[in-house]
Amino acid sequence: MTALIETQNLTFHYQNTEKNLLEAVTISFEEGTFTALLGSNGSGKSTLLKQFNGLLTPNEGAVFVLGNKTSEHENWLTIRQNVGLVFQNPENQIVSTIVEEDVAFALENLGVKRETIRQRVNEALQMVDMYDYRLHPPYKLSGGQKQRVAIASILAMRPRCILFDEATSMLDPQGRAEILAIIRRLNKEYGVTIIMITHLMEEVIDADRILILDKGTVVYDDSPYTVFQHVAAIEKLGLTVPVVTKLADRLKQKGIHLSEQTLLTKEDFAEAIKQYMEGHHGTIEN
C-alpha cells in the first residue's frame, strides 16, 4: 500500500541560510491516520509541514504525495487538491470580501459547477459554525471567526489530508473545542488524514501518533501513551506533558504512585484513583 505522504531523506535549508533546518527526515503517513507534530519554537515544524503539500521542496531527498513527487511541477495541482493547509494566522488566509465567496474561491478557480460549489460551501460553513455569517465581510470578523472561515475554505475542497499549523492557537476555548471536534470528525467519519501542529498537549491526547521534532530531526515517533512517559526528557525539549500526566507525576514525587500506565485523560485519572483506593482498602481487608 502506498503511503499518502512519504518523505525520503528529506533535507532542507532556506535559500538565504546555510544551515539545514531539516536533516534527513524519513517518515510516512498512512491514509486515515491522525498525527500530532510537536516541537519547540524554531524546531522546524512549519518548515516540515510545508513540504507535505509542496509549498516547500527538499534540497536533498524527496517527498511523495500519493506517489507524486512534490518537486515536479506537473504534480502540483493533484497535490494541492489532496493536501490542504490551514495556517496559524487567520489574517493572511482570507482573500474575498464576503465569507461565502472566500470559501468558494478555490473551487471557482478550479472550474467546479455552480450547484456543487453552493452545496459544498454551505456544508463547509455549517461544519465550522459560520453558516450564519456567510454574507458577512471577513474583515469584520474577529480572529477566531476568520480562522473558522479559513478551515471551511479547505474543507470545501474535500481534500484527503489536511495539515493544521497551530490552527487553534488563536481561538477561545469553545472555538478550539469546536475546531478540534471538527478535526476529529473529519478523521473518524470521513477518513481524512490529519497532521496537526500544536503547542497545547491537551489537544494531542487522542492522536494516533505523536512526532516530536528537535532541531530538524524526528526525536520521538510513537503513541501518546508511550511518548508522554518521558516527562523529564519532554520538558528538556521545551515541551510539556498533558496536565493529567503532570499531576500524576507530581503525586508520584509525593510518594503516591497511582499507576504504571501513563495517564492522559480525566477518565484515566479517575480510574487510577479508584484502583489505588481499592488497592489500599484491599490490603487492610486481607
Partner 1 sequence: MALLRTENVDFIYSKGTPFEKKALSHVTFSLEKNEFVGIVGTTGSGKSTFIKLLNGLLAPKKGAVYFNEQNIWSKGYDLRALRFAVGISFQYPEHQIFSDTVKEDIAYGLKNQGVPENLWQDKIMEVLKIVGLDETYLELSPFQLSGGEIRRVALASIMVMRPQVLILDEPTAGLDPVGRDTIYTALKQYQKETESTILVVSHNMDDVAEYADSLLVMSAGQILAQGTPAEVFSKTEELTAAGLAVPEITQLLHHLKLSGLPIQDSLFRIEDAAQELANFLNEVKKDE
Ligand X SMILES: Nc1ncnc2c1ncn2[C@@H]1O[C@H](COP(=O)(O)OP(=O)(O)O)[C@@H](O)[C@H]1O
Ligand Y SMILES: Nc1ncnc2c1ncn2[C@@H]1O[C@H](COP(=O)(O)OP(=O)(O)OP(=O)(O)O)[C@@H](O)[C@H]1O
Q: Contact residues for ligand X (CB under 6 A)? A: 140-143
Site mask, ligand Y, residues 47-76, x = CB under 6 A? Answer: x-----------------------------
240 lies in the binding site for partner 1 (CB under 8 A): yes
Indicate the DSSP class of residue 28: E
Contact status: 242 vs ligand Y (CB under 6 A): no
Instruction: Choose, by CB under 8 A, the member of 72, 250, 261, 275 that binds partner 1.
Output: 250
Distance CA 100, CA 141 (A): 13
Query: Cβ of residue 39: shortest distance to partner 1, in angstroms?
Result: 8
Helix ranges (H only) for 210-242 are: 224-227, 231-236
Write out the binding residues for partner 1, residues 190-209 only, by CB under 8 A.
199, 201-202
61: left (phi > 0), else alpha (psi -120 to 50), else beta? Answer: left
- x/- binding map, residues 104-143, to partner 1, per CB under 8 A? ---------------------------------x--xxxx
Query: Pairing relation of β-strands 83-86 and 68-69?
Result: unpaired
Q: Which is nearer to ligand Y, 124 or 241 (CB)?
A: 241
**Smallest separation, CB 178 to ligand Y (Å):** 23
Cα–Cα distance between 275 and 182 in angstroms, integer?
A: 34
**Does residue 283 interact with ligand Y by CB under 6 A?**
no
Please report the DSSP string for 86-144 in residue order.
Answer: E-S-GGGG--SSSHHHHHHHHHHHTT--HHHHHHHHHHHHHHTT-GGGTTS-GGGS-HH
Set of cell numbers at residue 214: 528537535
- Please give the grid coordinates belonging to residue 268: 484515566
Shortest distance, CB of residue 181 to ligand X, whole angstroms? 20
Q: Which phi and psi (to 5°) does residue 159 adopt?
A: -75, 165
Contact residues toward ligand Y (CB under 6 A) are: 14, 16-17, 21, 39, 41-47
Contact residues toward partner 1 (CB under 8 A) are: 14, 16-17, 39-42, 45-46, 88-89, 91-92, 137, 140-145, 165-166, 169-177, 199, 201-202, 235, 238-240, 242-244, 246-247, 250-251, 254, 256, 266-267, 269-270, 273-274, 276-277, 280-281, 283-284
